[in-house]
Amino acid sequence: MLDLKFVRENPEIVKENLRKKFQDHKIELVDKVIAYDEESRKTQYEADNIRAERKKASKLIGALMGQGKKEEAEELKVKVTKSGEYLSQLEQKETELAEKIKDIMMIIPNIIDDDVPIGKDDSFNVEVQKYGEPVVPDFEIPYHAEIMESFNGLDLDSARKVAGNGFYYLMGDIARLHSAVISYARDFMIDRGFTYCVPPFMIRSDVVKGVMSFAEMEAMMYKIEGEDLFLIGTSEHSMIGKFIDTILKEENLPYTLTSYSPCFRKEKGAHGIEERGVYRIHQFEKQEMIVVCKPEESRMWFNKLWQNTVDLFRSLDIPVRTLECCSGDLADLKVKSIDVEAWSPRQKKYFEVGSCSNLGDAQARRLKIRVNGENGKYFAHTLNNTVVAPPRMLIAFLENNIDAEGNVKIPKVLQPYMGGMEKIVKK
């Protein structure tokens, strides 16, 4: 959420940002919220004056009563009563205007960085750099679900009976590999100085509204019926929510946390054949990283965060590339975002395995995460990034490590988490 003062003083910048994000239908909201703000300030000014006059009148009534001037005091009481009725009307108007302003401010997007590429959708995202050499072997690589099933490691049919489409059973060595990747990612981030955390897997509506846009919430979140709770779609939501309505000491910044959680998502809509199996699912597990820092340090941390994901995948011999998200592909709260994509030798293309986002002070402003600095209080900057999210990540792992016989090699860094196993052998 933007600073209302910034919108008031820079309406053309806000409108141009809307054009860059191809949200021209919101441009009229800028003038509307400025008009509401002007009316609100006038109403508040008038209400404050009446409050001051009523305070003076109350003292004067007491003085008149003390002087025995009861009739004058009674006349003044009538005026105070009438002004009180009008003040109630003004206060009601203040409340209504504040709600109108908030509703608009919550859907005006954050100001994107100047170097974000301009484009309407993800087809305009820009490749930044490749890491590792993508290889297509001289043998055919099966579909990822078939690879897992060849190890008796995946049961989709039973999952459909138990929970419906979009769920799965992982079994045996594949289930162990899944847990090994999560454990390795946890230790990888701890070694890089991040504090490990297991957060709540449900969050209240005020946290949901603080960390994401309404459109994202509707598309992603599962609501717990009859309670003010939502299942988390990613642990960054409860991790950022950890700091809600707090004043942080500047000397304690930055907070660098890595968290494990299950994640739950609606994943509405139809998807292509490569998104069947365990690519798009309603439930998965993830290792995440978040940073709460000073505004001047957020760009530096942004580059560190996505680099962590690149380094982790390269340590597992998986080629990856980074992709700069264009303006139209950025969620409303984001200032800048880079996706990390892994190489799929079967599809002969890259696919998303992680996303790194700098949200500026948007989440902090919504959640009231302030910092007490030398020159006063200010809003912190928040960032998040995926460390690893199996079972999707397992697709890249299996495809890049399978051999012609259908066995899958285990990289050395992962072997301690697999009981020393060097290879998963086809059943």
CA 144/CA 159 separation, integer angstroms: 17
198 contacts 312 by C-beta, under 8 angstroms? no
The domain limits of the chain are 4-105, 122-424
pLDDT digits 0-9 by tens, 273-311: 445 689 889 999 999 999 999 999 999 999 999 999 999
Alpha helices (H) along 263-408: 298-315, 362-367, 392-401
Tokens standing for 254?
Answer: 């930055």
Residue 102 CA: distances (Å) to CA of 11, 36, 40, 207: 17, 10, 12, 16
Binned at pLDDT 50, 70 and 90, residue 125 comes out as very high
Residue 317 CB partners (closer than 8 Å, separation 6+) = 132, 400, 401, 411
pLDDT at 270 over 50: no
Mean pLDDT, the chain, integer = 93
pLDDT digits 0-9 by tens, 324-333: 999 999 999 9
pLDDT at 78 over 80: no
Give 122-424's CATH code, choosing from 3.30.200.20, 3.30.930.10, 3.40.50.300, 3.40.640.10: 3.30.930.10
pLDDT at 399 over 50: yes
pLDDT at 102 over 90: yes
Residue 75, SS3 per DSSP: helix
Alpha helices (H) along 316-383: 362-367
Task: Give CA 115 to chain center in angstroms.
Answer: 21
Binned at pLDDT 50, 70 and 90, residue 84 comes out as confident
Binned at pLDDT 50, 70 and 90, residue 269 comes out as low
Q: Buried (b) or exposed (e) across 184-194, using 16+ Cβ within 10 A?
A: bbbebbeebeb
Residues in the chain: 427
CA 326/CA 335 separation, integer angstroms: 11
DSSP of 48-68: HHHHHHHHHHHHHHHHHHHTT
Quick check: pTM over 0.85?
yes
Mean pLDDT along residues 26-55: 93
Q: What is the pLDDT of residue 273?
A: 43
Report which secondary-structure segment, H or E, holds 351: strand 349-358
Give 4-105's CATH code, choosing from 1.10.287.40, 3.40.366.10, 1.25.40.10, 1.10.3470.10: 1.10.287.40
Q: What is the pLDDT of residue 259?
A: 97
Tokens standing for 340?
Answer: 């990390």
What is the residue whose two structure tokens read 């701890």?
190
Binned at pLDDT 50, 70 and 90, residue 153 comes out as very high
Q: Buried (b) or exposed (e) across 4-14, using 16+ Cβ within 10 A?
A: beebeebeeeb
Give the other-Cβ count within 10 Å of 90's Cβ: 18
Percent of the chain scoring above 70 in pLDDT: 98
- Strands 336-344 and 320-324, sheet pairing: antiparallel
Percent of the chain scoring above 90 in pLDDT: 82
The closest alpha carbon to 419, from 176, 61, 117, 146, belongs to 176
Q: What angle do CA 318, 311, 194 make, to 5 degrees?
A: 135
pLDDT digits 0-9 by tens, 202-249: 999 999 999 988 777 878 899 999 999 999 999 999 999 999 999 999
